Chain A
Amino acid sequence: MESLKELILTECDRLKQGVPCDFVGVALQNRNDPDITWPYAMGNRNEKYKYITVRYGKGIAGKVISSGTPMGITNFPETILGKITDYPIMLAEKLVAAYSVPLVWNGLPKGALLIGYRNARQFDEHEEQKLREVAKHLESFLSSHFTDE
C-alpha cells in the first residue's frame, strides 16, 4: 500500500502539472496537538517550511483555516492586510501571488492547500477549480492522518 506521504505528494504533483504554479504546500494540523505545520511541499527554494508553525488566523494558510474559506493574494506585499511579517510562507518562498483553499475533515477546516507563484498574477476559474478538485482528493486521505484507519 502507498504511504500517506506518497499519496499526498502525488496529488501535489498532479496539481503542479495542471496549473503553472511554482510552489505547492499542504498545511495540516498535527495529529496529536493543535499545532498546524507544513508537512508537505513541492517547488520549495529552501527548507524553511519544515520549521514553520502556522499561526492560527495569521498569514494566508492561518486565515484560510480559521475562516474555512478560500483566500488569494495577487501581488504581495502591495495588496495585503497587516504587516508583511504576518505572511511567513510568502516571505520564505519569495512568493508574490498565492491562492489557498481549506482542507476539511469531519466538517471542520483542519488544513490548507496552497499554490504559489513568484510573480504577480490574477487567478482564473480554471486554477481555482483545479485546486478545489485536488483538495477534495486530499480530504479523502485525512482520516488516515488523524486516526489509525
Chain B
Amino acid sequence: MELKSGNQACSYIIQSQEEEIKRVALELHESINQNLYTLQTGLNFIESGIEQPELKNYAKEMSGLMERTIREVRLLSVELYPNTLSTLGLTAAVKSYAKLFTNTFGILIDVDSQGEEKLVSDPESLAAFRVCQEALINIAKYADTDKAKIAFTWGEFSVKIEIKDTGKGFDTNKVMESGRSMGIAAMGERMRLVGGQCNLTSELDKGTTVSIVLPIQS
C-alpha cells in the first residue's frame, strides 16, 4: 500500500487536534460553567436565608470562590478556542484575544483593520487566529517589550495580517539552524495547509514581524 504524503497526515493531525480542543472548550463553557453558575445562584439563595453571621459569611466566601472559578473556566475556554470566530469574524476574535492577552501579560496590543472585512471560512480563519496567538505568545516570552501591533489589510481576494513588535528581535538564521523553532515552523505549516503564506523577519534590537497572507474564497 502506498502511503499518502506527509502533507495530508499533517493536516489531519492539526484538524483532529483542533476538533478535540473545540470540544473541550465548548464543554467547559456550556456544560460545566452553566452548572457552576446554577450552583452559585443556589448558594446565594441559601446565604440569604442564613441568620447566623459566621455561617452567612462562610456561604458568602464560598460564593465568591465560585464566581472566581466560573471566571477562570471562562478564560480557559476562550484561550483554548475562540467561540466568537465563526459568529463575529476574525478581526473581532483577534481583538478579544488581544484584550485577554493584555490583561494577562500587561503588553498593550493595538489592533488595526483597513479595508472591508470579508467572510473567511472556519478552517482558514482558525489557522490565521492560531498564528496571531502564537506570535503574541512569542512576544510575551521573548520580545521584552510593552507593546505590539496587529494590522489587518483586507483586499478583494486575500487578507494580509501583520503582527509586529519593536522588541529585542533575534538572529533568524541562528534560531532556524538550532532546530528549536517548532513554533515558528508550525505557523508556516498551518498557513500552507490552508493555501496561505507566512513570513517572519527579525532584526536584533529592532524587533520582529510575522506576516501572513490568506486567500479568501468568494
Contacts and interface: CB of A to CB of B under 8 A. Distances in A.
Interface of A: 34, 46-53, 55-57, 84-85, 88, 91-92, 94, 108
B105 A48 contact: yes
B206 interface: no
Contact of B103 (A53, A57, A85, A91): A53
17 contacts: A34-B64, A34-B68, A46-B146, A47-B146, A51-B103, A51-B108, A52-B103, A52-B106, A53-B104, A55-B72, A55-B75, A57-B72, A85-B137, A85-B140, A85-B141, A88-B106, A108-B61
Contacts, number: 50
A56 B69 CA distance: 8
Contacts of B146: 46-48
Contacts of A108: 61
A49 B106 contact: yes
Interface in B91-119: 102-108
A4 B146 CA distance: 28
A91 B139 CA distance: 11
A50 B106 contact: yes
Contacts of B137: 85
Nearest to A51: B106
Interface residues of B, number: 20
A34 B144 contact: no
Contacts of B72: 55-57
B68 A88 contact: no
A34 B104 contact: no
B67 interface: yes
Chain A CB within 10 Å, residue with most, of B75, B104, B107, B140: B104
Interface string B119-149: 0000000000000000001001100101000
B14 to A, nearest CB: 20
Given A34-B67, A46-B146, A92 B61 contact: no
B23 interface: no
Given A48-B106, A85-B140, A91-B141, 10 more contacts: A34-B67, A48-B107, A50-B106, A52-B103, A52-B105, A53-B103, A56-B68, A85-B105, A88-B140, A91-B140
Contacts of B102: 51
B144 A88 contact: no
B67 to A, nearest CB: 6
